[in-house]
Amino acid sequence: MGCLESLKYEILLKNASSKESGDFIRNHYDEVHEVEAGYKILDKHLIGIPPIAVGVEGDYVIFPYTKPCYGTFLVRVAVPEEVERLRKRSK
């Protein structure tokens, strides 16, 4: 799977809050998974107020990526393995 930086990703939101990120995912995607804080996607442990919303659209996973000085970025990246893993844990 590799790391996020090595993949072609799209940034949907910049400098967002944890709540704005969650609301965006819940309002824009039909398939939403709720994960615990620290859940790992690619090489990143998710930061946020649990439960953290993660969207799925085809092979794409949409998740928040938070940095202390830049707030939350909402990232969209194609990672079929992560989509599969999210679906398995939701069963």
Partner 1 sequence: MHTVTVQVVRPIGDDIQKKAAERSAVLLLGCPQVPVQTSIALYLLSMLRKKGIKGIIAGNPAARRLVEVSDPDHHYVGEVIDIDRCVADLAEKKRDFSLCFAFIHNDAGVSYAATIGSLSGGSLVALIYGEHPEDVAETLTVPCEKIVVKATHNPMPLKNKIDEVLPWVVSNL
Q: Which listed residue (37, 59, 80, 90) binds partner 1 by CB under 8 A?
A: 37
CA–CA gap between residue 89 and residue 52 (Å, rounded): 14
Dihedral sign, Cα of residue 5, residue 34, residue 57, residue 11: negative
Positive or negative, the CA dihedral 17, 20, 21, 22 is positive
Q: Which of residues 42-61 bind partner 1 (CB under 8 A)?
A: 44-50
How many Cα atoms within 13 Å fall on the side-chain side of residue 68?
Answer: 0
Stretch binding partner 1 (CB under 8 A), from 3-11, 32-40, 55-63, 77-85: 32-40
Give the one residue of 17, 31, 57, 78 binding partner 1; rule: CB under 8 A: 17
The single residue among 18, 60, 61, 63 that binds partner 1, judged by CB under 8 A, is 18
Residues within the interface to partner 1 (CB under 8 A): 17-19, 36-40, 44-50, 66-72
